[in-house]
Amino acid sequence: MQKLTKKIVESTLPQKKDLILWDSEVSGFMCKITPAGKKSYFLYYRTQDRRQRRPKIGDHGIMTCEQARNMAQRWLLEVSQGNDPSGEKQEVRQNPTLKELSEKYMKEHAPHKKLSSRKEDQRLWNQFILPTMWSLKVSSIERSDIAKLHHSLQHLPTTANRVRSVLSKALNLAELWGYRPNHSNPCLHIKKYGETKRERFLSHDEIARLMDALTDEEKGNTNPWPLHAIRLLLITGCRLNEILTLKWEEVDMENQCLRLRDSKTGKKVIYLSTAAIELLKNIPQEVGNPFVICGGKEGTHLINLQKPWRRIRAKVGLDDVRIHDLRHTFASIAASNGLSLPIIGALLGHKQTQTTARYAHLIGQPLIEASEKIGGKIMGG
């Protein structure tokens, strides 16, 4: 046994079996030479519970003998402090990549969410997160990695915030699943961007133009189901998916309401106007199809309204109006007619009052008009 040096390692010829050269200065430090001539450095040691370990330090040529010896000394210091460098290296190898974490997230966590939310989560993973971070080990992700991704999406503030939320939840789960230490989520202190809620309401003139366009479409050989859907969206204030998946068994004509078994906010009742009830009565029920808005295949509902909506809105110059803006229009009319925020929230099925608060400024006008009338009466007007 002698001190390992570059000269000794490089001058030693391979044999028929693995040859071990032990170092005389650092206990357990060795160089293994295979019959093929490959030379690698290892460290042999026992843990505090007497388990044998022999982790590889590195290959000769990539690192020098002195570099390998220095690494062996640092590992032995960790061993003396009760640590296990070999076990820690194995743990890093077993720690999943972010791509693997995303797959576990979608398999075990996402099924508890609504279908639309699951699809959106998968889109965020595929389109924004994984293209640049897929290979990162979950245990090695730092705040700077999250900040860099978040900053790269600053031109899409809403998307940036959704990406941060998905990553934050996934990395919280990583702690639960034992991939990261507790309270180590790197999304902490990454501030969300301010989001400007889009407010687009149809005026009375725009509503009239839209309704006329729907009537014109009906006169041709146009598929009638998108037209029924658009009218229902406007007159009920429902979300798109609530109308597209609405079943006749959920329509309570007698009590003038829809009894939805499921929605974005869970089971709920939506109260209808007489006009909405009349509209539903004029929609034909297809034999064997449980849905109000029928799809192209037998027994199914309409899946996508975007193509007919884009065609119809273009006819009347409403290119900037989204389908969801029909719901906003319903709420704006309610607000401008003096209905309170709690009533509007109940009509729309909002769970949180701050969601309805965006319509608060619209309530002011009828109140001003009422105040004017009272003031006029008082002053003898």
Instruction: Specify if 366 maps to a domain.
Output: no
Shared-domain flag, residues 118 and 217 = no
User: For 51-109, what is each residue's pLDDT tens digit?
Assistant: 888 989 999 999 999 999 999 998 899 888 888 877 655 554 468 899 999 999 999 99
Shared-domain flag, residues 217 and 323 = yes
**CATH number of 129's domain:** 1.10.150
Q: Which pLDDT score, from 0 to 100, does residue 368 have?
A: 59
Q: Which pLDDT score, from 0 to 100, does residue 371 have?
A: 64
Report the pLDDT averaged over residues 215-237.
Answer: 89
**CA-to-CA separations, 286 to 99, 194, 291, in angstroms, rounded:** 45, 47, 8
Instruction: Specify if 187 maps to a domain.
Output: no
Instruction: Specify if 139 maps to a domain.
Output: yes
Q: Among 6-15, 17-26, 210-219, 342-351, whose mean pLDDT is lowest?
A: 342-351
Shared-domain flag, residues 213 and 310 = yes
Q: Which of 94, 118, 152 is the last residue of a domain?
A: 94
Q: Which pLDDT score, from 0 to 100, does residue 266 have?
A: 75
| Predicted confidence (pLDDT) at residue 376 exceeds the cutoff of 80 | no
| Predicted confidence (pLDDT) at residue 198 exceeds the cutoff of 90 | no
Shared-domain flag, residues 330 and 240 = yes
Q: Which helix (DSSP H) or strand (DSSP E) does residue 311 occupy?
A: helix 306-315
Report the pLDDT averaged over residues 328-355.
Answer: 78
Q: Which pLDDT score, from 0 to 100, does residue 89 have?
A: 55
Q: Which pLDDT score, from 0 to 100, does residue 301 have?
A: 94
CA 360 to chain centre: 29
Q: Which pLDDT score, from 0 to 100, does residue 361 have?
A: 63
Domain residue limits at 71: 6-94
Instruction: Specify if 15 maps to a domain.
Output: yes
| Predicted confidence (pLDDT) at residue 362 exceeds the cutoff of 70 | no
Are the C-beta atoms of 168 and 180 separated by less than 8 Å? no
Shared-domain flag, residues 80 and 114 = no
Q: Number of structural domains, the chain?
A: 3
Reported as a pLDDT band with limits 50, 70 and 90, residue 151 is very high
| Predicted confidence (pLDDT) at residue 378 exceeds the cutoff of 70 | no
Q: Which pLDDT score, from 0 to 100, does residue 11 have?
A: 94
Report the pLDDT averaged over residues 107-121.
Answer: 90
**CATH number of 73's domain:** 3.30.160.390
Shared-domain flag, residues 230 and 317 = yes
Shared-domain flag, residues 301 and 220 = yes
Q: Among 18-22, 50-54, 199-203, whose mean pLDDT is lowest?
A: 199-203
Are the C-beta atoms of 109 and 173 separated by less than 8 Å? yes
Burial of 130 from C-beta contacts in 10 A (0-12 / 13-18 / 19+):
middle
Shared-domain flag, residues 105 and 86 = no
Instruction: Specify if 314 maps to a domain.
Output: yes
Q: Which pLDDT score, from 0 to 100, does residue 366 have?
A: 60
Q: Among 135-149, 203-217, 257-271, whose mean pLDDT is lowest?
A: 257-271
Question: Model pTM?
Answer: 0.56
Beta bridge mates, 268: 260
Closest of 65, 45, 42, 64 to residue 53, by C-alpha: 45
| Predicted confidence (pLDDT) at residue 278 exceeds the cutoff of 70 | yes
Instruction: Specify if 244 maps to a domain.
Output: yes
Shared-domain flag, residues 112 and 163 = yes
Spatial neighbors of 104 by CB under 8 A, at least 6 apart, are 96, 173, 177
Instruction: Specify if 88 maps to a domain.
Output: yes
Written as one string, the DSSP assignment of 229-263 is HHHHHHHH---HHHHHT-BGGGEETTTTEEEES--
Q: Which pLDDT score, from 0 to 100, does residue 296 have?
A: 85
Mean pLDDT of the chain: 87
Q: Which pLDDT score, from 0 to 100, does residue 264 have?
A: 73
Instruction: Specify if 369 maps to a domain.
Output: no
Q: Which pLDDT score, from 0 to 100, does residue 101 have?
A: 94
| Predicted confidence (pLDDT) at residue 338 exceeds the cutoff of 90 | no
